[in-house]
Amino acid sequence: MSTIRCDIVSAEAEIFHGEAVMVVATGELGELGITPRHAPLITRLKPGHIDVVLEGGERQQFYVSGGILEVQPQVVTVLADTAARAADLDEAAAQRAKKEAEDALANRTDAEDIAQAQAKLAQALAQLQALERMRKNLKH
């Protein structure tokens, strides 16, 4: 049986690479089953599972919170997002970054710097926790 090389990578780590008989992923327009010699294709992924069927019928499952799927006749590449991404989440992050800069410019004294830094740290931790929780919810 012919196989197709499958690479699943995220920005922070390599998740899987090996030979597969079939790769099933949730594309933006629906489920895709990729077998060897598939036509070149590129699509965005929806949050969901990626099933890799190995030679011998063994299945491996991975969860991705989005990303890009690139297919070439001999290679499937999944560029997985590590974070939960959505347009309004990204927009909120951008607003935060802008505000942080404005705050940094507005407050010039050292004492305020420290308070600012602590507030930012607390804020960042809260955001991280929220994202973590969101990701857990998505998984279940």
Partner 1 sequence: MAGGREIKSKIKSTQNMRKVTRALEMVSASKIRKAQDLMKASRPYARAMRKVVAHVAHASTDFNHPFLTEREDVARVGYIVVTTDRGLCGGLNSNLFRRLLPAIREWQDKGVQVDVVAIGQKAVQFFRRIKGVNLIGSTTHLGERPKIEQLIGVIKVVLDTYSAGGLDRVYLAYNDFVNTMTQRPTIDALIPLPLVAAEMEATEGRTGAEMPNWPVAGLKLEQTHDWDYLYEPDAATVLDHVLNRYVESVVYQAVLENLASEHAARMVAMKSASDNASKVIGELTLSYNKARQAAITQEISEIVGGAAAV
Nearer to partner 1, 59 or 122 (CB): 122
Q: Which stretch binds partner 1 (CB under 8 A): 18-26, 40-48, 51-59?
A: 40-48
Q: Does 77 bind partner 1 (CB under 8 A)?
A: yes
Q: Does 83 bind partner 1 (CB under 8 A)?
A: yes
Cα–Cα distance, 79 to 52 (Å, whole number): 15
Give every CB contact of residue 31 below 8 A, 6+ residues apart in sequence: 24, 25
Residue 66: how many CB atoms within 10 A of its CB?
19
If residue 78 lies in a helix (H) or strand (E), which one and from where to where? strand 75-80
Q: Which of 2, 97, 129, 138 binds partner 1 (CB under 8 A)?
A: 97
Residue 3: how many CB atoms within 10 A of its CB?
16
Q: How far is the CB of 57 from partner 1 (least distance, A)?
A: 27
Task: Using the structure block, give the residue that is written with the tokens 């992923």.
Answer: 25
3-state secondary structure of 42: strand
Instruction: Spell out, one character per residue from 8 to 37, where the chain touches partner 1: x when CB under 8 A holds, - when not.
Output: -xxxxxx--x---------xxx--------
Instruction: Catalog residues that contact partner 1 under the rule CB under 8 A.
Output: 7, 9-14, 17, 27-29, 39-44, 67-68, 70, 77, 79, 81-83, 85, 90-98, 100-101, 104-105, 108, 117, 120-121, 124, 128, 131
